[in-house]
Amino acid sequence: MAYIILDRQALVHNLQLIAQKAGGKERIAAVLKDNAYGHGLKIFGTLLKEWGITKAVVRTIAEAMAIQDIFEDIIVLADIPDRVYPFSFALNDLETLERFPPKSMIELKIDTGMHRNGIAMEQIEEAIGRIVEKGLRLRGAFTHFRSADVLGSELFWQERNWQEAKERIERACRSYNIARPRLHSQNSAALFRQGLKDDFARVGIAMYGYLEMDRVFEQPPLEPVLSLWAKRLSKRKLKKGERVGYGGVFEAAKDMVVSTYDAGYGDGIFRSQRYTKDKEILGRVSMDSIVVEGDEKEICVFDDAKELAHSLGTISYELLVKLNPSIARFVR
C-alpha cells in the first residue's frame, strides 16, 4: 500500500508560527476532526502533545475516546452523549439540550450569522437558564465565522454579533450566578487575519501547513506536514504505440520504461489527478495503482496538497480528508 510521511520539523515550525500569533501554546485548541484532516488522529495527536498542546477539537465521541489519553481537554463538535463523558459537547440546537445527561459539559454554540449550527442570539438567556436548571455544566461558548478567509466586510459584521453574544452570555451568567464560560470563535484564517480575540483559537488547517485565504492577506510561511508516497509494484518496457491502463488512453510515443506504483483512488487520491509530484501519470488512475515513466523504487504522489487541490478544482481540506485512514503513517 501507499504510505504517508509526517514531517515533524514542518509541524513544529507551523505550531511556532501559530503560537506566536495566538500568544502561547495554551491558546491553541487543535482541530483534529476527520482523522486529523487525514493525517492520522492518534499519531498526529501524539506529536502535538509532545510539543505541548493540551486542547483538542473533534467531531465524534469515538474520535474523542481514541485520544482521551493524549489530551486533557477535548471538545466534541457533532455528537450527543449517551452518558457522562470527560469531554465537552457543542450544543448545536436548543432542542437537543433535553438529550444531554445531567452533569454533561456543554460548549454552547451561538449562530452569529453562518446559519449552519448553534442557537440563535435571542435564545442565549433561555439556553443558559435551561443548562443551569438541568444540572449541566456550561464550560464554554463559541461561534464560527463563515467568511474569515475572504476579503470583505462580512467578518466584521459577524464579529459584531459575536461581541453582542459575549455580552449577553456574561450578563446571563451573572444573573444565574455561574462562572463565565471560556469563549472562542476563530479558526486558522481568522487567527492569522486578526490575531487572537478570545480565550483561544480553534486551529485546523494552519497546523497541517496550509491556509486557503484570499491572496490579499499576508500569507504566513507555513510548511506542508504530510506527503503521500507509493512503492513500485512492477516494471515493464513499452514499445512505441503500446497503450497503458483502462481504456488505453495513454499511448507510448516512443519505446520507454514504465513502472506501476501502489497508490490509487482507493487510497483517496483523485481519479482526475494527472501528475505526481515530479511525473506525469500515464493513462487512468486505477483503484490501487498508477503508472509513470521510469523505474524508481518509490515516488512521491504529492507533498503540496494545496497546489494539487487547486489544480483539481478543490481545496486542500478535501484532498487531505479523503486519504484512506488505513494507509500507514510514519513520522520523519
Q: Which is nearer to ligand PLP, 30 or 282 (CB)?
A: 30
Q: Is 33 among the residues known to form the active site? A: yes
Q: How far is the CB of 149 from ligand PLP (least distance, A)?
A: 7
Q: Any residues with CB less than 8 A from the CB of 74 and at least 6 apart, and which?
A: 55, 56, 57, 58, 64, 67, 68, 86, 87, 88
Nearest to 231 by CA among 134, 129, 301, 322: 301
Which is the catalytic residue, given 33, 109, 166, 306? 33
**C-beta closer to ligand PLP: residue 57 or 282:** 57
CB 150 within 8 A of CB 190: no
d(CA 173, CA 44): 36
Rounded to a whole number of angstroms, the minimum distance from the CB of residue 81 to ligand PLP is 18
The Cα 108–Cα 100 span in angstroms is 13
Q: Which CB atom, from 182 or from 202, has the smaller least distance to ligand PLP? A: 202
Dihedral, 46, 37, 182, 165 alpha carbons, nearest 10: 180
**Nearest-CB residue to ligand PLP?**
204
Of the residues 103, 235, 240, 246, only one is catalytic, namely 246
Give the shortest CB-203-to-ligand PLP separation in angstroms: 5
Q: Torsion angle of alpha carbons 42, 47, 50, 54, nearest 10°? A: -60
246 is catalytic: yes
Nearest CB to ligand PLP, comparing residues 97 and 205: 205
Q: Tell me the C-alpha distance between 274 and 85, whole Å.
A: 46
| Three-class SS state of 295 | coil
Provide φ and ψ at 323, rounded to 5°.
-65, 125
Provide the minimum distance between the beta carbon of 227 and ligand PLP in the complex, in angstroms, as a whole number.
19
Query: Which residues bind to ligand PLP, rule: CB under 6 A?
Result: 31, 33, 77, 144, 187-189, 202-206
Q: How far is the CB of 137 from ligand PLP (least distance, A)?
A: 20
CA separation for the pair 42, 47 (Å, rounded): 9
Pairing of β 226-238 and β 73-76: unpaired
- Min dist CB 148 to ligand PLP, Å, is 8
Contact 77, 62 (CB under 8 A): no
Query: Among residues 161 and 286, whose Cβ is nearest to ligand PLP?
Result: 161
Of 193 and 202, which has the nearer Cβ to ligand PLP? 202
Residues noted as catalytic: 33, 246
